[in-house]
Amino acid sequence: MFPNTELYNTLKMKNTKKVATVLLGGFFLMLSACKQGPKKEEPTEPKVAETQERVDPPEGIISLEESKSLYENYTKNRLDIIQQYEAERSPEKFEAARFSSFSYADIKQYMDYIEQEAKTAQVDISSLRFYFANYPDKTNFPDGKKVVHPRQNSIFIVPTMKTDDGEYGFYIGEDGKARLIKNAVGQTAVGSTAKDGNRSYASFAPNFASSTMLQGGKSLNLNHSNSGPPPDGDF
């Protein structure tokens, strides 16, 4: 028992007020937090993209100066001959092509396509051959597509594979296996006969007399590019 009842009651009231104050303060603090809602997360720093491995330039990359020189060599040594030949062939105005182009998307699709077909046929693509070509003086190609630039020079692309006796263009046969183009269409020599009776072959072109062998097969050759005089400002 406290000897002083009045002092005891005074201390008791003070302690009660302190406890009430603490409890009331905690209640209001909790109520305020509920009104504010969940605390928003601080924005995090964006992740740094992984550094892609650098690709070394192929050995065949040439300078702009060399490109210009090659372009001018073609102008000097080939262009006039083509123009004269076409002028004798037809009175219509003719401007020789200086390039063939495929869209970047088409080339990517073509690469994916031939890789897919070669993988299915279980062969490795050895190289891509860019054959020089010349469009016919006709309205349509044999497949029915329109000849946009009759008589123009162009290119077509042929994937090759290595065999025991060399490297040749191939297509996919009806049985799904890789077959050599030369065995399907043959080769027609284009050139002149020398004095010793031997033929001097300037180039080779497919002979489609035996094209029935390709029925049911699948060609991997890419053509129908856009060709024409160069855009202003290239060379």
Higher pLDDT, 78 or 215: 78
Q: How confident is the model at residue 120 (pLDDT cuts 50, 70, 90)?
A: very high
The least confident of 24-28, 143-147, 167-171, 179-183 is: 24-28
Which phi and psi (to 5°) does residue 211 adopt?
Answer: -65, -10
Q: For residue 220, how far is the Cα from the chain centroid?
A: 16
Which phi and psi (to 5°) does residue 105 adopt?
Answer: -65, -40
Q: How confident is the model at residue 149 (pLDDT cuts 50, 70, 90)?
A: confident
> Whole-model pTM?
0.65
CA distance 151 to 82: 10
Residue 202 has pLDDT above 50, yes or no: no
Question: What are the residues whose beta carbons fall under 8 Å from the beta carbon of 197, sequence distance 6 or more?
Answer: none
Instruction: Quote the mean pLDDT of the chain.
Output: 77
The least confident of 4-8, 102-106, 207-211 is: 207-211
Closest CA to 141 of 130, 125, 126, 152: 152
Residue 150 has pLDDT above 80, yes or no: yes
Q: Show the beta-strand stretches assigned E in the chain.
A: 99-101, 127-134, 153-163, 166-172, 178-180, 187-193, 199-206, 226-228
Kindly state the average pLDDT of the residues 168-181.
Answer: 95
Higher pLDDT, 83 or 14: 83
Q: Residue 144: what pLDDT?
A: 86
Domain residue ranges in the chain: 64-96, 99-225
